[in-house]
Chain A
């Protein structure tokens, strides 16, 4: 088991960002779903050793995060993609990844450059690596940040909304890359794209208002909305959420009125039901 979080909480002054949560995870991809402000980024920052929890124990890859030596050991085998990532002014893509590689203790230039080339090739950025970052598209910049996370073949990958800004084709390629990487590694991905979770994650955790509301398989999450999803022409007062679905009519979740015919629930339905009306509805499925 690579990830052990025991009663981990985080408080900023008066505001509690994360309730005491406990989470154990091993190899494979773990999906973290939740609306904005649910505490996903806080949790991932703790997992990436970027911030320390206010309380609780964090053990990653067999090391204790409370010790400086433990953190250093974890960071040597960690790849992190933050939600917002800036770039130093005037850097090219290659220089950026090279800089991070130095921070990951690749002191020898030749081996370091070979490794930089390797991760750039994995993310399909070889041809644009020589370009200044400010001249790269948003999708390419995102891929650049993912590339730096792959340096050194990390055992633990923490990805905070990595597919934001990627077009559907790039998202597909990203899913392929991550599925391939999950072999023999622990990957934690936070997202609010439920399709990513369905495609990628054998296990999903739903975070809401700082607490874990669900921890299990995607099909189990969908099953939570069993019998609670129906379509009708008009919005029913018992519906918690309603939106226009393909084929006309309103797809609604909540307490179905008598006579309404329930439709098979998707993972998204289960998720939305769980987070109540505060869940974010991304777009109508095409």
Chain B
């Protein structure tokens, strides 16, 4: 027996919904088993819709999964593409995250009576944002640095985005010190300003000297200073005295002004 194929008119009627249930049933059952008729009915299918769905399907298949961090950042108003740049932590940054977690755990677990533990914690805490910022950019920590350097995206913007994760981590550390270190919340606020000042200086100088060397030098200088004041005056709190806070604040303001001026100049010459 010759295989039966539905003619184009019947299929067009089917596609339009002009067939009764019995014949619709018949056609649909037939289509399940006949490739030729499926090809014929394709002629009366909705072409633009099919093209659109294909493009959307490909898009869904290729779409990289959006991480929780990206969702949070987009929710607070960052553009999705910027959120993507900010949320992909390099392995160096991940290592930094783990060390911060360790530092926090250490602060929580260490007995309160051990003064030297607290002292070292206070000495090291301002360095946390410095290192976090230093790891955001540069040939030492970014495996695809050269490709990044050859791209038009604003370098400063990229560093700031990649350093965004420094903020919650520093904040968490502030919380931890507030809860565990004797002296409470005021203590935790005290080391914040030096930390910010050091980070700002890192940002300002990294373009010329490289992030890691600058961060290393500043970290060393800070440790020497803090330990020096401890040795000299008997308590590390001198390193957080009002004079120091003022210097840090001035540094921050100076760096910000300088950066703004630099951008203004760059804007003028383009």
Contact = CB atoms under 8 A, between A and B. Distances in A.
Interface of A: 45, 48-50, 67-69, 72-73, 75-76, 78, 80, 82, 84-89, 91-92, 94-96, 98-100, 102-107, 109-110, 112-113, 116-117, 129-130, 145, 148, 158
12 contacts: A48-B146, A48-B149, A50-B146, A69-B269, A72-B152, A75-B152, A76-B152, A86-B144, A102-B81, A103-B147, A103-B151, A116-B62
B204 to A, nearest CB: 16
B253 to A, nearest CB: 24
Contacts of A50: 146, 149-150
B96 to A, nearest CB: 14
Given A88-B144, A107-B81, A117-B58, A100 B151 contact: yes
Interface stretch (B5-13, B84-92, B179-187, B221-229): B84-92
B269 A95 contact: no
B152 A80 contact: no
B81 A145 contact: no
B79 A87 contact: no
A100 B80 contact: no
B147 A100 contact: yes
Interface string B49-78: 000000000110111100000000000000
A88 B88 contact: yes
Contacts of A69: 266, 269-270
Given A67-B269, A72-B152, A88-B144, A102 B59 contact: no
Given A88-B88, A88-B90, A103 B64 contact: no
B143 interface: yes
Contacts, number: 98
B148 interface: yes
Nearest to B90: A88
Contacts of B146: 45, 48, 50, 80, 82, 84-85
Given A86-B143, A87-B144, A113 B151 contact: no
Interface in B141-188: 143-144, 146-154, 158
Contacts of A96: 144
Contact of A98 (B64, B90, B94, B269): B64
A75 B150 contact: yes
Contacts of A117: 58, 62
Given A85-B146, A103-B148, A109-B80, A68 B153 contact: no
Which of B80, B150, B270 is most buried by chain A, counting CB atoms within 10 A of its CB?
A: B150
Given A95-B64, A102-B85, A113-B59, A80 B270 contact: no
Interface residues of B, number: 30
A75 B151 contact: yes
Nearest to B63: A113
Interface of B: 58-59, 61-64, 79-81, 84-85, 88, 90-91, 94, 143-144, 146-154, 158, 266, 269-270
Nearest to A67: B269
B147 A82 contact: yes
A83 to B, nearest CB: 9
A87 B270 CA distance: 33
Nearest to A152: B152
A68 B270 contact: yes
A87 B148 CA distance: 11
- Top 8 nearest A-B pairs by Cβ distance? A86-B143, A69-B270, A103-B151, A75-B152, A80-B150, A82-B146, A103-B153, A50-B149
Contacts of B79: 107
Given A72-B152, A148-B147, 18 more contacts: A68-B270, A73-B152, A75-B152, A85-B143, A86-B144, A88-B143, A89-B91, A89-B94, A91-B88, A92-B64, A95-B64, A100-B147, A104-B151, A106-B81, A109-B80, A110-B59, A117-B62, A130-B62
Contacts of B64: 92, 94-95, 98
Nearest to A78: B150
A192 B269 CA distance: 40
B269 A68 contact: yes
Contacts of A67: 269-270
A145 B147 contact: yes
A82 B143 CA distance: 12
Nearest to B268: A69
B63 A104 contact: no
Nearest to A96: B144
Nearest to A45: B146
A96 B143 CA distance: 12
Contacts of B144: 85-88, 96, 100
Contact of A104 (B58, B88, B152, B266): B152
